[in-house]
Amino acid sequence: MKYKAPIVDRSLADIAARTSKAFFNARDWQRVYDNAKITNALVAYLTSVAIQFDIIADPTVYSIPTATELNALLANIERIRVSAGFPAIDGLVEIKDDWTAGSAATAPDYLDANDWERVIDILISTIGSLTEYVIYCGVSAAGQPRFYQHRFRQYDWVPLAETPTRRARANVAVAGAGLTRNNGYRRY
Amino acid sequence: MSKTAPVVTFGLYAMIVKQDSAPAATDIQPFAKISDLKTGNTTNKPTITLEPDFWLLDGNYKFRPSDALTHVGLMSMSMSNADGNFITPPVLTVTFSEAHTTDSLTLRFAQFSDDYSSSVRVQYFDAADTLIRMDSYNPIDWEFSTEQAVTGFKKIVITFYSTNKPYRYLRLLGIDYGRIVTFTGADIKSASVVEQVNPLSIELPVDTLELHLYSSDAAFSIIAPGGDYASLQNKQPMDVYETIGNDTVYIGQFYLDTWENPSDTEIVFKAIDMIGVLDTIPYLGGIWTTATTVGALVEAMLSAINVPYALDPALEAVAIKGWIPICSTREALQQIAFACGAFVTCSRSSLIQITKTILAADVSSYDSIITKAEKGMEQSLTLTALVTGVEVTAHNYLSNATSSELYNGTLTSGAHTITFSAPMHSLSISGATITASGANYAIVSVATTGTVLLTGQGYTDTLQVYGVYNTGLDANVKVNIPGIKDATLVNSSNVASITQQVYNYYQQRYLQRVKLYNPTAEAGKTALVDALYNRQIAGIVEKLELDLSGGFTAKAEINGVVVT
């Protein structure tokens, strides 16, 4: 599954002209869901925080979605947004996930659909920089898994060790310490 | 600038044929109710589906409510293919208990999304189930009349072969036995509509239409209104639209109230919406000493008189108890709306919409944003009178065992209705029998003329005045405390929240009057308006005076608070 380019620029002019962006079709629903799934996997990997990600049936042209189903889709996005713990970024808005049914209830419009896709897009395009500004609590310690101690590195990425041998070390790894020092606590 | 013009349509329908009809279909979505075609209770808001290019993101497409509240008419299970053709065409069969005659058959498809069946076959059968007429049609609009008179039919079979767009369910929202008359362009000298809401339902305003028509048709003579137009007097609905360029805006559905001919060729129709019609329909009321839900109460009241409505799902389960005296259905609806914190409107809809009230201060997104550029020169901002407190009287009804005489007199043989000015229970009678009764009435049957004595036990109404006051005011501020005493569905359980809501509403003291061109604002909806001194008012549109023939302008009244 690949991340698909989102649509984030729907406008009132599209609605008036009934362009392809004016409608929310099964493929749009599927794209939002798939992109959310990919974003969730990446955020979960980088933060080690797993959120509840509800599985939603693949939509078809025959589908008559309910407010509950859309809310489940949007609640996934909202949980990813909260879980990522990003600072305030333009467009990274709270996603409404309590739509109700009925002709007197308010229903999503093109601005809402833009928000759904924009939030996912901001998350996935920014998540790579997560380690640049996330400050972790706690201390790293000898014998911890490598991925755990990576959290305390100040480097974007750590190259594979030249000599992946297990080396017993005394002392403790220190948050923000240098690559050489923390590499000493690898298990290989 | 787009050209604008009003369009008014009404159907010359034989209601008796419709009332005798029994529509049936097998190819139908499980949540759809074929009976909607008979009752006319169909939503005018499209239900969200994922058919290709169907769900337009304009905010008007709504999620389907619970099955009980879904009214989509005939919506097929089958979907047309890429060419718009049904592999197995859906069939609608309408049977009647007796043979009828009609001068046309009108089919109403999905106006909101401009979806319709583009190929239809209509077959008429007589009392012996013999085919007496068969025609095929190719509709080119969501509303279609066959313009074919047929006599002596007892069954109609309609087969829908295709849709005008590919991959579509069939959507049939109405079927009427008669034809449509349309007024537009030169027919209409002027048309204006007044839409009003009261967010608290302290009153239940009626939307009105005033229509000035030009016609040299003798059938429009007020002296002898005959032929087609006679049916207008029988509360046939008139649907009003405004065309703006290539778009059509639905304004609402109205019913003729008065008919006036200022000259031989000018006709003035004054019409009211369904809320106004409800004012002419009596309601026998009742008492609910244990809580019922708003959904159940409204359903029992409006379904009994075949009035279509849309209830906000947020109100469906709201508990309510108390007493409704004998009154008009409009007054009863007002009591319910006030007690559950709702407002009622028919604007931009053919349904009565009962919507949960939202106060301007609680609104975070707006249905319309009115900038300086969109406003005309005519505007004013008024600071309404300071309300220093609100008092609402709660009514708590407890049954008592005190028996009292409700009627003592001579009645002739036959059925009689005796009504009470206060709720009663445990009725007993001598000299007649009670055939039906409620808290406010008894229908008695008298076998032979004679004295009838009706007694019953009553209820004690314990009153509780609940107030919310502004205590932070200077002593010299003039006290202004409106009171609401006759809301008989307000009780000890809900009086606090209702009083607080009333008080909060009265603290919204800014009334922005503004003239709008091609208005997108609607009565009962939220708006953010550029006001004076570069400030903005957030509020609810409480009144719109629409001029449909003079370029589609509106004088709006928006009540709310200053937000920026």
Global ipTM: 0.75
Per-residue tokens: B219: 């059938």
**What is the pLDDT, as a whole number, of residue B554?**
86
| Nearest alpha-carbon partner for B303 in B29, B34, B35, B498 | B35
Instruction: Among A73, A96, A103, pick the best mutation site for testing chain B contact (most B Cβ within 10 A).
Output: A103
Asked if A106 is an interface residue toward chain B (Cβ–Cβ < 8 A), one would say yes
Residue B75 has pLDDT above 90, yes or no: yes
Element (H, E) at B252: strand B247-260
Distance of residue B354 Cα from the nearest chain A Cα, in angstroms: 7
pLDDT confidence of residue A25? 96
Q: Across the interface, do A23 and B57 touch by the CB < 8 Å criterion?
A: yes
Position A167 scores a pLDDT of 46
DSSP string spanning B344-362? EE-TTSSSEEEEE---GGG
Any idea which residue has 């007020």 for tokens? Answer: B222
Tokens of A55: 């599985």
Are B72 and B47 contacting, i.e. CB atoms less than 8 angstroms apart?
A: yes
Does the CB of A62 have a partner CB in chain B at under 8 Å? yes
Which of B29, B43, B53 is nearest residue A25 as measured by Cβ atoms?
B53
Q: Please give the pLDDT value at position B406.
A: 92
Average pLDDT over residues B513-528: 85
Nearest to B411 by CA among B374, B443, B373, B459: B443
The whole-angstrom separation of Cα B315 and Cα B355 is 8
Lowest average pLDDT, out of B160-164, B262-266, B524-528, B538-542, goes to B262-266
Tell me the residues of B at the A interface, defined by beta carbons under 8 Å apart.
29, 43-45, 47-66, 69, 79, 167, 247, 310-314, 351, 353-356
Residue A158 above 50 pLDDT? Answer: no
The domains of chain A are located at 12-133, 146-187
Q: For chain B, report the end-to-end CA distance as a whole number of angstroms.
A: 31
Among B2-11, B97-106, B281-290, the minimum mean pLDDT is found in B2-11
What mean pLDDT is predicted for residues A40-48?
A: 83
pLDDT band at B194 (very low <50, low <70, confident <90, very high): very high
Distance (Å) from the alpha carbon of B555 to chain A's nearest alpha carbon: 24
Shortest CB distance from B57 goes to which of A22, A103, A104? A22
Among B48, B53, B64, B80, the strongest candidate for a mutation testing the A interface, having the largest count of A CBs within 10 A, is B48
The residue behind tokens 């308006």 is B529
pTM over 0.90: no
| The two three-digit tokens of residue A31, written as one number | 């794209």
Query: Do the beta carbons of residue B76 and residue B27 sit within 8 Å?
Result: yes
Rounded to a whole number, what is the distance in Å from the CA of A58 to chain B's nearest CA? 11
Q: How many CB pairs under 8 A join A and B?
A: 108
Q: What is the mean pLDDT of residues A85-109?
A: 86
Q: Output the DSSP codes for B536-561.
A: EEEEEEEEEEEETTTTSEEEEEEEEE
* Cα B484–Cα B490–Cα B494 angle in degrees, nearest 5: 115
Helices (H), B279-410: 294-303, 313-316, 329-340
C-alpha dist (Å) from residue B274 to B204, B211, B553: 11, 17, 24
Buried b (16+ CB within 10 A) or exposed e, B300-327: ebbeeeebbbbbbbbbbebebbbbbbbb
Judged by CB atoms closer than 8 Å, whether chains meet at B314 and A100 is answered as yes
Give the gap in angstroms from C-alpha B374 to the nearest C-alpha of chain A.
16
- The pLDDT score that the predictor gives to residue A154 is 57
Is B50 in contact with A29 (Cβ distance < 8 A)? yes
Least Cα separation, residue A56 to chain B (angstroms):
15
Give the three-state DSSP class for B447. Answer: coil
Q: Are B62 and A102 in contact (CB under 8 A)?
A: yes
Parallel, antiparallel or unpaired: strands B389-411 and B483-484:
parallel
Nearest CA in chain B to A18: B56
Measure in Å the smallest separation between the Cα of A1 and chain B Cα atoms: 22
* For chain B, percent of residues with pLDDT exceeding 90: 53
The model's confidence at residue A168, banded by pLDDT at 50, 70 and 90, is very low
Contacts of B55 in chain A (CB under 8 A): 23-25
Mean pLDDT, residues B325-344? 95
Q: Do A24 and B55 touch (CB under 8 A)?
A: yes
Q: Which of B56, B64, B65 sits opposite A64 (nearest CB)?
A: B64
